[in-house]
Amino acid sequence: MKKPHFSLCVYCGSRPGADPAFAAAAQAVGQWIGGHGGQLVYGGGRNGLMGVVAQATLDAGGRVLGIIPRALVEREWANHNCTELLVVDTMHERKRLMAEHADAFVTLPGGIGTFEEFFEVWTWRQLGYHDKPVGLLNVNGYYDGLMAFLQASVAQQFMGDAQLDLIRVEAEVQRLLPDLVQAAGLAPETRLDAL
């Protein structure tokens, strides 16, 4: 397999969620990554949206790097179909390696682990620990409440507009992913069969 044109780190739920649109979005993300010569970097699980995005990336010809802590191999059902699966000792090591292997980050719907990963990588960006684009895929308004809360935080002067501007928020995969990859200074592969 040739070297991927870009690596996109995806944070998402280990559950599918109630709305079928969530799995459809995860499928579209994986198809886009694989269809444009990219690599998915993700948490290494095979359940929920994690499994959907990984399988879709593989099916579209992309490379999948999964990174999972030893303690979660059974709980999250480690995905041994990944192109490469790294089993690490701690959650901190997992997140560090995911960030190091990524050119950009995108957060899909998910739960507390997804929120924590999103907030951490956003915080790292505003502190200058990295300069990689951070995106939020707001599928069917899933993150509307979060965005309203963040606007309230700005209104209450706990953060500024400049911090919010570090996040790229879109509802459509085809708008968000090309933007993130191009903002990282990379160009997705153009193929006639790319989705």
Q: Which of 21, 42, 32, 30 is nearest to 113 (CA)?
A: 42
How far apart are alpha carbons 172 and 106 in whole angstroms? Answer: 12
Query: For residue 189, is it within any domain?
Result: no
Query: For residue 190, is it within any domain?
Result: no
Q: What does the angle CA 177 – CA 194 – CA 81 come to, to the nearest 5 degrees?
A: 80
Q: Which two tokens mark 33?
A: 């990554």
Q: What does the angle CA 20 – CA 73 – CA 81 come to, to the nearest 5 degrees?
A: 65
How far apart are alpha carbons 118 and 99 in whole angstroms? Answer: 11
Q: Mean pLDDT over residues 77-88, rounded?
A: 94
Q: Compute φ and ψ for 167, nearest 5 degrees.
A: -105, 135
Residue-level pLDDT at 2: 66
Query: For residue 1, is it within any domain?
Result: no
pTM score, whole prediction: 0.93
Query: For residue 54, is it within any domain?
Result: yes
Q: Mean pLDDT over residues 13-28, rounded?
A: 97
Q: In terms of residue numbers, what domain contains 45?
A: 7-182
Residue 148 amino acid letter:
A
> pLDDT tens digits for 87-124?
999 999 999 999 999 999 999 999 999 999 999 999 99
CATH number of the domain at 81, please: 3.40.50.450
Q: Output the CA torsion 70→137→22→148 (10° steps).
A: 100
Give helix then strand counts, H and E, for the chain: 7, 7
Q: Per DSSP, what are the bridge partners of residue 41?
A: 9, 65
Q: Which of 18-22, 25-29, 183-187, 189-193 is the least confident region?
A: 189-193
Query: For residue 156, is it within any domain?
Result: yes
Task: Kindly give the pairing relationship between strand 104-107 and strand 63-69.
Answer: unpaired
Query: For residue 194, is it within any domain?
Result: no
Q: How many folded domains does the chain comprise?
A: 1
How far apart are alpha carbons 131 and 70 in whole angstroms? Answer: 29
Q: For residue 1, what pLDDT band results from cuts at 50, 70 and 90? A: low
Residue-level pLDDT at 27: 98
Q: Mean pLDDT over residues 62-78, rounded?
A: 89
Query: For residue 139, is it within any domain?
Result: yes
Query: For residue 69, is it within any domain?
Result: yes
